[in-house]
């Protein structure tokens, strides 16, 4: 069994601003509440390789991994995958940006993954965790981008 999540949120801001802010990996420790640091390791064309480090968890563990992220501005889509997978056998992500008739942007995140057998959680538990946390992060991102769009 593999894990799968599909979440979205509508952000009341111009698509160019949403695209710019959410693809500025260096700013992710500000944009996402869960990340302590990002380190860009390489850039090649529209692909960036970077290390993400989370804030320490309740047990003091500070999780970190390397991902590749390829942005396609023409289609307003992003494909990403973890290069260092940690507890995951694999983790693939897809981001989609669709303009709404009201002038906003529907930001959609799809995550497909499978946990390793020795992982502390199984696919179902990780799906629940990701769905819960994605809603929190999307709400935060929406608020920050809408605040920026309003000029405050």
Q: Among 5-14, 26-35, 51-60, which is the least confidently predicted range?
A: 51-60
Question: Model pTM greater than 0.85?
Answer: yes
Q: Which of 36, 20, 3, 5 is nearest to 73 (CA)?
A: 20
Q: Distance (Å, rounded) from C-alpha 140 to C-alpha 151?
A: 17
Cα angle, residue 55 at apex, residues 51 and 58 outer, rounded to 5°: 135
Cα angle, residue 131 at apex, residues 16 and 144 outer, rounded to 5°: 35
Show the domains of the chain with their CATH numbers.
Answer: 3-26+70-150 (3.30.530.20)
Q: Distance (Å, rounded) from C-alpha 95 to C-alpha 86?
A: 22
Radius of gyration of the chain (CA): 15
pLDDT tens digit string along 45-77? 999 999 999 898 777 777 889 999 999 999 999
pLDDT at 119: 87
pLDDT at 1: 67
pLDDT at 25: 97
- Rounded to 10°, the helix 123-150/15-22 angle is 130
pLDDT tens digit string along 95-145? 999 999 998 999 999 999 999 998 888 999 999 999 999 999 999 999 999
pLDDT at 22: 98
């Amino acid at each position: 069994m593999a894990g799968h999540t599909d979440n979205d949120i509508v952000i009341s801001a111009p698509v160019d601003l949403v695209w710019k802010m959410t693809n500025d990996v260096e700013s992710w420790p500000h944009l996402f509440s869960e990340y302590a640091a990002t380190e860009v390791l390489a850039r090649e064309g529209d692909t960036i390789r970077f290390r993400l480090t989370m804030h320490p968890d309740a047990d003091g563990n500070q999780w970190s991994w390397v991902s590749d992220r390829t942005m396609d501005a023409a289609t307003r889509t992003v494909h990403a995958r973890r290069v260092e997978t940690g507890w995951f056998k694999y983790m693939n992500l897809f981001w989609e940006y669709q303009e709404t008739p009201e002038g906003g942007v529907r930001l959609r995140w799809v995550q497909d993954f499978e946990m390793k057998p020795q992982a502390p959680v199984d696919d179902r538990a990780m799906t629940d965790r990701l769905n819960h946390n994605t809603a929190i992060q999307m709400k935060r991102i929406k608020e920050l981008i809408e605040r920026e769009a309003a000029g405050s």
